[in-house]
Amino acid sequence: MINPLAGQGVNIGLLDARPWARCWIEGHKQGLDLGDLTVLRRYEKMRRNENLKMMTVMDVFYRVFSKSVITGQIFA
């Protein structure tokens, strides 16, 4: 059995890449540095909700599959 958590970091990274590029380009047009807090906060605001959803789902998967491995059951 392959744990469903495997590879999710890559998926999240790919989903993060486009918004990060958009924020960086907008910041660059405004003359802001890549690490400027304005740019970073804009990016964080864009991705926060989606990342929280993914973290919650992955936490549920972890708990379900960890318990199923220990007890031999999917739902206990």
pLDDT tens figures, 6-57? 677 777 888 889 999 999 999 999 999 989 999 999 999 999 998 899 889 8
Q: Give the angle subtended at the CA of 73 by the CAs of 68 and 74, to the nearest 5°.
A: 70
32 vs 58, residue with greater confidence? 32
In angstroms, the CA 52 to CA 47 distance is 9
Is pTM beyond 0.75 here? no
Residue 56 amino acid letter: T
